[in-house]
Structure 1
Amino acid sequence: MGDKNTIVVNLAEPVVNEKDIDSELAEIEADDEKDPMEEILAGQEEIQKNLDATQLYLGEIGFSPLLSAEEEVYFARRALKGDEASRKRMIVSNLRLVVKIARRYNNRGLALLDLIEEGNLGLIRAVEKFDPERGFRFSTYATWWIRQTIERAIMNQTRTIRLPIHVVKELNVYLRASRELAQKLDHEPTAEEIAESLDKPVEDVTKMLRLNERITSVDTPIGSDNDKALLDIIADEKGYGPEEDLQDKDIKCSIIRWLEELNPKQREVLARRFGLMGYEPSTLEDVGAEIGLTRERVRQIQVEALRRLRDMLGHQGLNLEALFNKED
């Protein structure tokens, strides 16, 4: 798969074995064999720092006003034209949305502040990709991107071999730099690019990234409440993105509204023929048998109903054939 969000999962053999990992750890940290109590205290201190930083962050973003639907369209249009102030306004006004979503993934292997940071990357991506002319609220669109980045970060933290706290902390710095560069460069960054951005030796970057390589089952639970597996977020070249998914839902809602303009018999015939309103798609013969009419009469009602819909949609500049692709 060519998409940059694609995750390649190797189920055949591990990229690196435990001996390699032990060797890399020895080279990176000579004092790996620290006192266990010292490591526990360091971990508790780190947790307290995270709590303090999180409270400070939440207090700061609490003053950011939300945007109305009209303001979203206004600032989004200006952001697409390169207006940096509008772009920042879109981001700042939706930081609370990131926090709300990030809380759902708490206790999944990442501190809340780290979850928020990852979610913010998704929010930034959403601002860059959002098209206000589609008619969707930005919050609905951004939620998709925020969840994707958070879940990918959680997945990257899932490991069967435990690493010392100080190594995990350093590894997170490299991984976060990698994700930020991937968004800026539109491709997965090389070790050289990561090293340059962090002003680190390429050898150090390579060693740390090797510690993150592992076999991952496609059934690994990664969603909130364990309701999603890795397989659910692997990119599919033929799959829908957020725009297509939202557009499809919007079209379905519009079709239901248009059907309400028809008489009951026309509405039922189209619903049964094209699989709408809970029905399964059926042939003319099957529809006739279900509602007690001949095949020819069902066809006539279908033609009349489609003609009425064609007129209604024509006034809105829409194409009926794009929605109903069966023969009259």
Structure 2
Amino acid sequence: MEKVDKDCELDKASDDVDLDDAVDKSTSKRQKKESDDVPEIIASGRGRGSLAHNDLLNAKTLDATQLYLNEIGFSPLLTAEEEVYYSRRALKGDEASRQRMIESNLRLVVKIARRYINRGLTLLDLIEEGNLGLIRAVEKFDPERGFRFSTYATWWIRQTIERAIMNQTRTIRLPIHVVKELNVYLRAARELAQKLDHEPSAEEIAQLVNKPVENVERMLGLNERVSSVDTPMGQDSDKSLLDTIPDQETSDPETLLQKTNISGNLDKWLTMLPEKHSEVLARRFGLRGYEMSTLEEVGSEIGLTRERVRQIQVEALRKLREIVEKNGLSGEDLLQ
């Protein structure tokens, strides 16, 4: 009965007064307080009239993000009573009330989204994902439970943003429960970083969250990002990450020259070995057009046992090294 009376009183009040005017008077103080969370131009834009609004929209210096922030700055906040009124109507299918609930809380999304900057998504992308969470919160909010909508919406906004970061910035996706645990450690790390004068260690994070250090180290290891080797090193640099990775196969010029000489003369030197020796080496190491084969495969192909093939290979390599060294080269890494 009490719920019906409240609905009737609010419906009657909406006929006698302009709710927009009521919002302007009741929320002006809170708008001033929240102006710290949005650019100064947003907080000061309200009340200047359509001319100021058009000037903001037409300003060529505003980028897409700033333009969006300016736009939402004109949406008035709702009081607790208005939240109940509009959310009840939204649950009954009133689209205008649903839209009013969404537009009045867009700045809450921006405030939360800013906490996730430098996590792999742009601010606009974070806001877009957060807005999806806000819409979901409007659809699920039950005004009869007695708490403010912003408290309820914050959970949904954070969930959608964190899930988007997980899905869109990781090459290897992590299970949801792992991401949630990881976020606990990351939030603890950010909290410690604000208090300390250095980046918090795994031990300090573990102490704060009362978890084993091994767990923290393992979870933080999952937070490492996979970068493309073609990623530029900087905005003004043409050098990519690949350019900074040393070539493990590249040796000094002298070694390269030796390998080149051996490669160019190997076939000639093989002809200087007994025929059976050169054939075993050719089949074992994929020379002279043969496929590289195991000892068993070579033995099967030339009619010898595995052990006999091994003995021939050892003897052939010894003789080949002698030939190579007589030509002034090192046979240490021959056919490795």
TM-score by length of 1: 0.36
Higher relative contact order (CA 8 A, sep 6+): 1
| Larger-gyration structure (1/2) | 2
